[in-house]
Amino acid sequence: MMAEEGTQQLPYVRETVLKKRKVNEDWAIKNRERKAAKRQRRRDDGKGAIKRPEDFVREFRNKELDFVRMRTRLKVRKLPPAESLSSKLIFAICIPGTTDLHPHMRKILRKLRLTQNVKELIYKKGQGFMDKEPFPLTSNDLIEKALGEHGIICLEDVVHEIATVGPHFKEASNFLMPFKLKCPERRLQMKKKPYKDGGVSGNREDKINELIEKLN
């Protein structure tokens, strides 16, 4: 009698639920294996890919045209000196991609770091970089460890330092990984045509925020 009272009834789980759970687990394992095999095939295909001479010629011409276009814009457009600009913070987004860019332009883009629409971008896309390793911005302890000596101890401090272009702007921006924005639902047209002529590249001033909203 005492033994019967001491026993506890195990929770009942229907057989159909157990079967469904098993099917889901098997599917998840197979899906991971399928994705891993697909990634490996892509790597193998990339290693063994053979480029035709026409591909090299087209790539070289694209880079040369990009360099000529860059020099022409510098000659035609008379930009004001940096001291006369009303804003200190500038957003730069690489729209056409960097595959066929001239090395000079690629170097400039690396220095610009494709920075951020401050708070929204940092909170949604932000990743820190410390000890040569990226990490998600989920802990203020890591931020304090990396930037505490500059008085930046939390994510809000990082946002404030970048938005206001504070004295430690360089340290805060270098702490963040460059953002990779998503493609818009509708593909951007006329990527190489200047914005003022109906294209999408070039200076948009404050209208850059509308583009960031589409890509964020």
Q: Is residue 121 exposed (0-12), middle (13-18) or buried (19+ Cβ within 10 Å)?
A: buried
- Answering whether pTM is above 0.75, one says no
**Inter-residue contact 138 to 117 (CB < 8 Å):** no
Of 92, 104, 110, 95, give the one whose Cα is nearest residue 66.
104
pLDDT in tens, 2-58: 455 556 666 666 777 778 778 888 888 888 888 888 888 877 776 666 667 777 777
Q: Which residues of the chain have pLDDT under 50?
A: 1-2, 82, 112-116, 190
- Residue 194's beta-bridge partner residues? 201
